[in-house]
Structure 1
Amino acid sequence: MPVTVADLVANPELDLRLLTPDVPVDRPLSWVHVSELPDPAPFLQGGELLLMTGLALRDGEPVGPYVRRLVDGGVAALGFGTGLGQDAVLGELVAAAAAGGLPVVEVPRGTPFIAISRGVSAALAADEYAAVARAATAQQELTRAALTPGAPAAVLERLARSVGGWALLLDAVGAPLEAAPAAAARRAPGLQAELDRLRGMRAPASAALSAPEETVLVQSLGSGARTRGFLAVGRPGPLPPADRHVVNAAALLLTLRMEQSRGLDSAMAALRAALLRLLLAGEERTVATVVVELGQQLPAEPLHVLVLLGTGEQRSAAVDVAADAAAHEHAPLFSAELDDALVLLTPAAGPLPERLGVLTTRVPGAAIGSSGPVRWAGLADGVRQARQAAEHGRGRGAGIVAFADLAAPGLTALLDPTATRAFADALLAPLVAADRAGGDLVHSVRVWLAHHGQWEPAAAQLGVHRHTLRKRVHRAGGLLGRDLDEPGARAELWIALHPPGTD
């Protein structure tokens, strides 16, 4: 237990006398300091027992401001050495200290200040040793708990008991896995913002949430790029350093436990990738049997296909987010890697496809595309459509891009505006140069193409004879080095004349 003024007064060897009986004396002491300065506060850190003989007040220094400076500086108590010629100020000092809530003890001449310093130092050392010993014992118990069946629950129960608070283990998505006590699981929603912040950092990372009534420590679990879960621990008041060591030990044990499953995760990922290739080959019945053995089921057709393009870390995070969404909706989900993409299969009907929209915020930076409803026989087409949509959305920050939406804005929506404008400027440069000399070629070709190469209506719109228009178009083809009777040349010229962003 921390040493207090009450402990010192109770020590008969020190012969101290409490002069402020109405002031609480249970505040822990951080150290003992001797100073006769009029203002020693700048040299203190708070929580000290300040010893003095009154020399600071011998030149008429006001007692009230002196006491206020000590209180504002965080001094825990004042010890006044008597019998050294400054006792005249003691009564006034005690009155001011009592009014300011500062305990004062009388230190008789027969008690050296060094004796008090040694006593407090020894008590602090003993308290620190006891805390270290408790932390070591707790770490040993945590290690034993980690080796028992149902280890995470046992570790959390021992951890919560050790810190005198609660402990919560969450998966990579932020869903509770274990809680001690069970009511601690209700704290998960309030931690999501902090989990999102830690998820963007390389594990392990931690954050402390301090409030007057409680301190909460949150740590990400994992090693390297992938966060495999989170540990949250809270207790009333501050979390002492020894307890923080215990929390760190628990986080390490839980991380080791989770990392042990990495090999199994890799094997399962390889199995699911193989099952997806069988599904693409039309072996839905065979795969369904294997998936049932894994304790899951394939979604019913028609299917909704999502393809996510991103880093390995983003794909791993997406698997966790999608699994959480499927569990929330009680809907079947099949996920597997295909080359450098993650493929997610869900029922086209029901709320799950819409709920998976959370992927855009929970896995920032990934490109996601979706197909239209497909049957198992058309799964390959669905995957191709979803991948094309994801490729279109890559780098555009467009959320989930649906394959059906690719055709809605027309061909120019698929073109890069910068590259297309550069192409148009280069292709049309000869015509633009000719127009500066009065050729009127660009406008004539645009109108001619708008009329599908029909001479009469195009010439009528331009207000010229059809032979004049023919000459202009033939001249344009010669300047461009292209045969404008060819559909491909006309298509290129149309794009150049109508780049993205123009009417």
Structure 2
Amino acid sequence: MPLHLADLVARSELHLSVVAAPDRLDRPVEAAHASELLRPGQWLQGGELLMTIGLLLPMTEEACRAYVQDCAAAGAGALVLGLGRELPYQEAPAPLIAAAEAAGLPLLTVPDEVPFIAVTKAVFAAKAAEQHRALERVFDAQRRLTAAAASGRGLTATLEAWVDATGIAAAVTDLLGRPIAAAGLDDLDPFGPAGLPPAVTELVHKVAGRGLRGSASSASGSLGSVEVQPLGANRLRGLLVLVGTLAPNDRMPASGLVSLLSLELERRHLADEPERRRRSALLGRLLTEGVSAEHAHDVLAVAGLASDTVRTVAVDPSGTSAEMAAEVAADLALAVPGGLVRVHDGLVEAVVGDNLDLIEILSRFASGAPAGIGPAVPPEAATGSLRQARALVAVSRALGHPAQTREAHSARLLLEFGDRRALRGYADAVLGPLDSADPTGDLVRTLATWLDTGGSWDETSRRLAVHRHTARNRIDKAMRLTGRNLDDGDDRFDLWLATRIRQEMKAPGT
């Protein structure tokens, strides 16, 4: 524990006497320094035991008050006045005592048989012993952490050893912020069945987005200080959440904790390889052509995925080695509970439950890689969904983000890839006659609605809140003005594409 004034006063060999502010002896002492300067404050850093014989100090109330205030403002821990037969003072002068009392700065005296160097040695010996004890505590914490990590009891044992050594609560989460091990958090309400509190989850996601490159900390309401550290060797495997304020002496054990937890997560990753191969084989069984609904559900049951519908994902980790593709597959396998993942024909393929935010997962575990997301289908139709997902990889590469089935529509692709001026010109060329004849836009609006409803007069009139005869009259007029024939496939497609371009051009963000 730190050295305090009371500890020095208690050392009988120093013969220190307290003559002012005896109620302030709980102050810590950082060093001992002798000076006869009248303004020593600029040479102090705080916490010093400032020793003087008062050689140059005029013992007037004004001079003593200025001297004491200068020392106190600089953070001096206490003043020590040396007394002796051949020294300026044989007892503490009243003006100096009064000034020290007024400033709340302890004033001690030391007799001439105790040289200042003896006080200095005592202070630095005590500080050295304090540092030695702190180092012993650090090494003891490291030994306890190492022993726990080597016990074979996993992440929880290591976290418990950390809490015992430091009193700082801790948790390990996966890359999505889901807790997988914790210690010392039982009494913290926000860490309940729902997982991490929102503020902590946000911090975890912030660090996860940086990979292994950094950490973050913040104050989190009732939790106090929260710090998040990345875990892993060459790839991010998890995150460490520390709840509480770390003392300076806790920093070295904290670094050891990060290393030990990273090793454990890497060990788990290697140990999970047989399970990943098993699940890859299950995915191959599910994707067998002509698989029955019963067999598909049996495969999902073995995988632990209880879902009536599934979605498929295809990711192209192009530019990476086969080993890195396997790493991406392993990351996805951790991120999708019960999901089936494999590497096949250079792509990472997955079948997952329909309740996952696949865009969020892909942004975290396959950031920047072209990816296609197939439609939700019954398990026995997963092969068809995956076929669409694989086809969408090329679309994703052009879009610059994961592509879903709905983004394969021709109008969407034209809007994403085509020149906007050319598209607008195309729509104006097809719909220009309607714009001129009907500035209100009713003709174009009716035509677009009729085409979107597949030519249903009842649905068109319902959506537009007009009589079906009104809708029919508008469509007939539109055909006369444009010279198009709705029975002609090319004409009908041109009209549909032109109206869709108009709709998309008006949509927010286009």
TM-score, normalising length from structure 1?
0.70
In the superposition, relative to structure 1, how do residues 277 and 333 fare at CA in structure 2: closer, same or farther (>3 Å)? closer
Structure 2 residue identity aligned to 1:196: H
- The answer to whether 1:417 aligns with 2:419 is yes
CA contact (8 A) 2:21 2:104 kept: no
Question: Does the residue aligned with 1:261 lie in a helix, a strand or coil?
Answer: helix
Change (3 A) 1:161 1:299: closer
Q: Is the 8 A contact 2:316 2:348 kept in 1?
A: yes
Q: Distance in 2 between matches of 1:309 and 1:68?
A: 71
Asked if 1:42 is matched to 2:42, the reply is yes
| 1:267-416 correspondence to structure 2 within 5 Å | 267-282=274-289, 296-308=303-315, 317-323=331-337, 333-339=339-345, 341-348=347-354, 352-353=355-356, 355-356=357-358, 358-359=360-361, 362=364, 365=368, 369-389=372-392, 391-394=394-397, 396=399, 401-407=403-409, 409=411, 412-416=414-418
| Counterpart check, 1:17 vs 2:20 | no
SS state of the match for residue 79, structure 2? strand
Aligned to 1:254: 261
Q: CA deviation at 1:357?
A: 5.2
Residue by residue over 1:53-103, the C-alpha shift from the partner in whole angstroms, topping out at 9 and shown as x without a partner, is 334634977433443333333322222223431679843333333333322
1:435 paired residue number:
none
C-alpha distance 362-258 of structure 1, shift in aligned 2 (>3 A): closer
The range that moved more, 158-167 or 400-409, is: 400-409
* 1:245 alignment partner, one of 239, 246, 252: 252
Residue of structure 2 equivalent to 1:456: none
In the alignment, the residues of structure 1 paired with residue 344 and residue 42 of structure 2 have an alpha-carbon distance, to the nearest angstrom, of 65
Q: Residue 336 of structure 2: SS of its match in structure 1?
A: helix
- Contact 2:59–2:95 (CA under 8 A) maintained in structure 1: no
CA RMSD after TM alignment: 4.7
3-state SS of paired residue (1:275): helix
Partner Cα separation in structure 2 for residue 20 and residue 105 of structure 1: 7
SS at 2:411's partner residue?
A: coil
Q: Which AA in structure 1 matches 2:304?
A: Q
Confirm or deny: 8 A CA contact 2:333 2:339 kept in the other structure: no
Residue 98 (structure 2) pairs with residue 134 (structure 1)? no
Q: Distance in 2 between matches of 1:85 and 1:201?
A: 65
Change (3 A) 1:69 1:356: farther
Q: Is 1:222 matched with 2:237?
A: no
Report which stretch shifted further, 66-75 or 10-19. Answer: 66-75
Does the C-alpha gap of structure 1 residues 298 and 75 become closer, same or farther in structure 2, counting only changes over 3 Å? same
Aligned partners of 2:163 and 2:170 also within 8 Å: yes
Is the contact between residue 54 and residue 87 of structure 1 (CA under 8 Å) also seen in structure 2? no
Aligned mates of 1:63, 1:317 — CA distance in 2: 70
Q: Supply the AA of the counterpart residue of 2:271.
A: L
1:70 aligns with 2:78: no
The 3 A distance-change label for structure 1 pair 177 and 20 is farther
Measure how far apart 1:222 and its partner are: 0.6
Asked if the contact 2:36–2:52 (Cα under 8 Å) also holds between the matched residues in 1, the reply is yes
Q: Name the counterpart of 1:438.
A: none
Q: Does the aligned pair in 2 maintain the 1:204–1:222 contact within 8 Å?
A: no
Distance in structure 1 (CA, Å) of the matches to 2:208 and 2:361: 14
User: Please, which runs of 5 or more residues in structure 1 have no aligned partner?
Assistant: 324-331, 426-442, 448-459, 463-486
Q: Kindly tell me: are residues 169 and 375 of structure 1, through their superposed partners in 2, closer, same or farther at Cα, counting changes over 3 Å?
A: closer
CA contact (8 A) 1:303 1:374 kept: yes
Distance 1:178 1:158 in 2: 13
Distance 2:143 2:232 in 1: 22
C-alpha spacing 1:26/1:410, structure 2 compared with 1 (3 Å): closer
Q: In the alignment, which residue of structure 2 is the partner of 1:457?
A: none
CA 1:375–1:170: 2 relative to 1, 3 Å: closer
Could you tell me which residue of structure 2 aligns to residue 192 of structure 1? 201
Distance in 2, Cα, partners of 1:4 & 1:244? 24
Q: Deviations over 1:117-164 (max 9, x none)?
A: 111111111121122222222222222222224232222222111113
Separation (CA, whole Å) in 1 of partners of 2:217 and 2:31:
26
How many residues are paired up? 438
CA contact (8 A) 2:332 2:341 kept: no
CA contact (8 A) 2:296 2:379 kept: no
Change (3 A) 1:11 1:102: same
CA distance in 2, matches of 1:339, 1:77: 76
Name the counterpart of 1:79: 80
SS, match of residue 29 in structure 2: coil
Closer, same or farther: CA 410–198 of 1 in aligned 2, 3 Å:
closer
Distance 1:387 1:111 in 2: 87
Q: CA deviation at 1:52?
A: 2.3
Aligned equivalent of 2:155: 152
Is 2:179 aligned against 1:176? Answer: yes
1:502 and 1:10 map into 2 onto residues whose CA distance is 84
The code of the aligned residue for 1:239 comes to A
| Counterpart AA for 2:283 | L
Letter in 2 for 1:228: R
Which of 98, 102, 105 is matched with 1:102 structurally? 105
For residues 378 and 153 of structure 1, do their structure 2 counterparts lie closer, same or farther at Cα, with a shift above 3 Å needed? closer
Alpha-carbon distance in 1 for matches of 2:77, 2:397: 61
> How many angstroms apart in 2 are the aligned matches of 1:219 and 1:120?
37
Change (3 A) 1:132 1:290: farther
TM-score in terms of structure 2 length: 0.69
Contact kept? 1:299, 1:345, Cα under 8 Å? no
Is the CA contact 2:216–2:228 (under 8 Å) kept in the aligned structure 1?
Answer: yes
Matches within 5 A, 1:417-496: 417=419
Q: How far 1:376 moved relative to its partner?
A: 3.9
Residue pair 1:369, 1:386 contacting (<8 A) in 2 also: yes
Counterparts of 1:262 and 1:173, CA distance in 2: 16
Counterpart contact for 1:168–1:184, Cα < 8 Å:
no
**Does the CA-based 8 Å contact 2:374-2:388 persist in structure 1?**
yes
Q: Is residue 415–residue 500 contact of structure 1 (8 Å, CA) maintained in 2?
A: no
Q: Distance in 1 between matches of 2:505 and 2:2?
A: 76
Give the C-alpha shift of residue 411 in structure 1: 5.2
Question: How much has 1:365 moved relative to structure 2?
Answer: 4.4
Q: Deviations over 1:198-228 (max 9, x none)?
A: 223343744455799965543221111x221
Secondary structure at the counterpart of residue 304 of structure 1: strand
Q: Deviations over 1:16-60 (max 9, x none)?
A: 011234432223222212223344333333222222233463497
> Aligned AA for 1:71?
A
> Are the equivalent residues in 1 in contact too, given 2:215–2:228 (CA < 8 A)?
yes
1:31 maps to 31
Distance 1:299 1:159 in 2: 38
Mean Cα deviation higher: 54-63 or 117-126: 54-63
